[in-house]
Amino acid sequence: MIDSIKNRRSIRKFREQPVEDVKLNEILEAARLAPSGNNKQPWHFIVIKDQGMKRQVAEATNNQMWIATAPVVIVAVADMLARSEDYAGLHVDEETGNFDVKRIVRDTTIAVTHILLEVDNQGLGACWCGAFAQKSIRPVLGIPVDKFVLAVIPIGYPASQPQARERKALEEIVRYERW
């Protein structure tokens, strides 16, 4: 098995040491190479190093201010316009600005998984943060309404080594031949 699948943990404490650009580029490259339905690649990634911007993103992400302690934050954005069939007939929640996305989210999720695994492969740590309202986070980063913010991913050298979180046993989740 790929080591990072076993070793990766959500990291929420970071050392101050910056992330080298060569490592950051490998992480972004891992996202770029992800598979997607019809090879649509409906994703964009915003790389944030500015402390003020990181703080605003952390505030918009349910006030999880530890996010701003990471040297770099990547925000993964799914592009509604890459799949116009998903864009038609959207129901947008008035309060949060959230809406039903489906395929662009499915595809961008794969790219974010690649990011998490490559982060670990580079000796770094990260955490997928998904607790935000579209209406809170989009304006902070100037993201247009036809884009769906999927994940905020703080990245840095880990300052803690959390225990593995429990996972369901294979017997609980695997069936053979039929349901």
Ligand X SMILES: Cc1cc2nc3c(=O)[nH]c(=O)nc-3n(C[C@H](O)[C@H](O)[C@H](O)COP(=O)(O)O)c2cc1C
The answer to whether residue 128 forms part of the interface with ligand X (CB under 6 A) is yes
Q: Which stretch binds ligand X (CB under 6 A): 13-21, 44-52, 78-86, 121-129?
A: 121-129
Q: Is 133 in the site for ligand X (CB under 6 A)?
A: no
Q: CB under 6 A: which stretch of 17-25, 77-85, 126-134, 137-145 binds ligand X? A: 126-134
Q: How many CB atoms lie within 10 A of CB 157?
A: 18
Under DSSP, is residue 75 helix (H, G, I), strand (E, B) or coil?
Answer: strand
Minimum CB distance to ligand X, residue 156 (Å): 14
| Residue with Cβ nearer ligand X (78 or 127) | 127
Token pair of 108 as six digits: 């961008």
Instruction: Single out the segment in contact with ligand X by CB under 6 A; choices: 9-17, 50-58, 90-98, 153-161.
Output: 9-17
State which of positions 34-73 bind ligand X (CB under 6 A).
64
> What is residue 29's three-state secondary structure?
helix
Q: Is 77 in the site for ligand X (CB under 6 A)?
A: no
Residue 143 · residue 79 · CB < 8 Å:
no
The continuous run of DSSP H or E covering 45 comes out as strand 43-48
Return the residue nearest ligand X (CB atom).
130
Counting DSSP H helices and E strands in the chain, the numbers are 7, 4
Contact 136, 126 (CB under 8 A): no
CB of 9 to ligand X, least distance (A): 4
Could you give the CA distance from residue 176 to residue 161 in angstroms, rounded to a whole number? Answer: 36
Cα separation, 83 vs 102, in Å, equals 10
Q: Which stretch binds ligand X (CB under 6 A): 17-25, 41-49, 76-84, 124-132?
A: 124-132
Residues that bind ligand X (CB under 6 A): 9-10, 12, 64, 127-131, 162, 165
